[in-house]
Structure 1
Amino acid sequence: MKIVEFLRPDAVVGEIAGQSGPAVLAELCQPIAAGLKLEPQRLVDILVEREKLGSTGIGDGVAIPHGKVPGLPALVASFGRSRAGVDFRAIDGKPTHLFFTLFAPENSAGAHLKALARISRLFKNAGFRAAILEAKDAAEIYRLIETEDGRY
């Protein structure tokens, strides 16, 4: 499974404007909702409910908010960068800069877990995280993800 199978270039936000967790989630749900013709708030609500179980801020400046959507045909994702960082209640207590939002069909536990593991593995690389933070725009971020994704 490759990340580029469920992350479209137009779902990459080069610089997130939101300065709070809910604002970031709303911003990241916009491109997904537009692509699927869904109400963005429905997606935000799913992520907010998941965050109530515990923060998806995995540390090292990375968060992977995720949830399951009834009727969704396949995995879909968005990615956003906040150079300033956002308090996302990450496990290491540090600001979060890189947000990878993932939605999965309701009955897709295997694919959902494989995608989360792949995203997590990719973003464990400190050099890759630094390159994403330094990228000039969303197109360059997508190319970096595509290149790194192809190495595994």
Structure 2
Amino acid sequence: MKVIDVLEKEAILLNLKSTDKRGVIEELAEAVAMISQISKDILVQILMDREKLGSTGIGKGIAIPHGKLKDINNAIVGFGRSKEGVKFEAIDRRPCHIFFLIITPESSASVHLNLLGQIARMLKNETFKEKLISAFDPEEIYNIIRDFEENF
């Protein structure tokens, strides 16, 4: 499964308004809730519970909040971007600008790990990250990710 297969265009937010971790998680969860029939409150709860285990801010301006839900059948990926950056308790203590949110079925550990790995690999590419930062609309973000996955 590719990231593009589960990335929802309606859950691509290019102008996150929040300035803290919980706010970003709430914004992304709201976008996913609107397209998935999953309660925003449940999404926020599982994502914040995961954050208590350790920040999903992986450094270099990137965070990948993720969680598992029992009552879903398919993975969902959302994307968020903050031009100003958000204090996300990242391992390098730098503000995060790029956010990928991953929600997978509780029974699909391999899908969960696969998506995390794919996103982490993509984000190691500086050109890819620069394109995500400079994209103008959700369609462009979607195309950047699709093109990267097709060519690498």
Cα distance in 2 for residues equivalent to 1:35 and 1:10: 7
TM-score by structure 2 length? 0.96
Cα distance in 2 for residues equivalent to 1:30 and 1:86: 18
The answer for the alignment partner of 1:46 in structure 2 is 46
The answer for the alignment partner of 1:31 in structure 2 is 31
How far residue 10 of structure 1 moved from its aligned partner, in angstroms, is: 1.3
Cα distance in 1 for residues equivalent to 2:35 and 2:10: 9
User: Which residue identity is paired with 2:139?
Assistant: A
TM-score by structure 1 length? 0.96
Cα distance in 2 for residues equivalent to 1:31 and 1:151: 29
How far residue 59 of structure 1 moved from its aligned partner, in angstroms, is: 0.8
User: Which residue identity is paired with 1:32?
Assistant: V
Cα distance in 2 for residues equivalent to 1:10 and 1:59: 26
Deviation string, structure 1 residues 22-65 (Cα, Å, up to 9, x no partner): 01001001121111212101101100000000000011111100
Q: How many residues align?
A: 152
Cα distance in 1 for residues equivalent to 2:102 and 2:59: 17
The answer for the alignment partner of 1:103 in structure 2 is 103
User: Which residue identity is paired with 1:123?
Assistant: L
Cα distance in 2 for residues equivalent to 1:90 and 1:146: 27
How far residue 93 of structure 1 moved from its aligned partner, in angstroms, is: 1.0
Cα distance in 1 for residues equivalent to 2:147 and 2:103: 22
The sequence identity of aligned pairs, in percent, is 40
Alignment of 1:104-119 (within 5 A): 104-119=104-119
- Kept in 1, the 8 Å contact 2:76–2:103? The answer is yes
Cα distance in 2 for residues equivalent to 1:124 and 1:49: 26
Consecutive unaligned residues in structure 2, runs of 5 or more: none
How far residue 146 of structure 1 moved from its aligned partner, in angstroms, is: 1.4
Answer yes or no: is 1:10 the counterpart of 2:10.
yes
Cα distance in 2 for residues equivalent to 1:28 and 1:15: 11
Q: CA RMSD in A?
A: 0.9
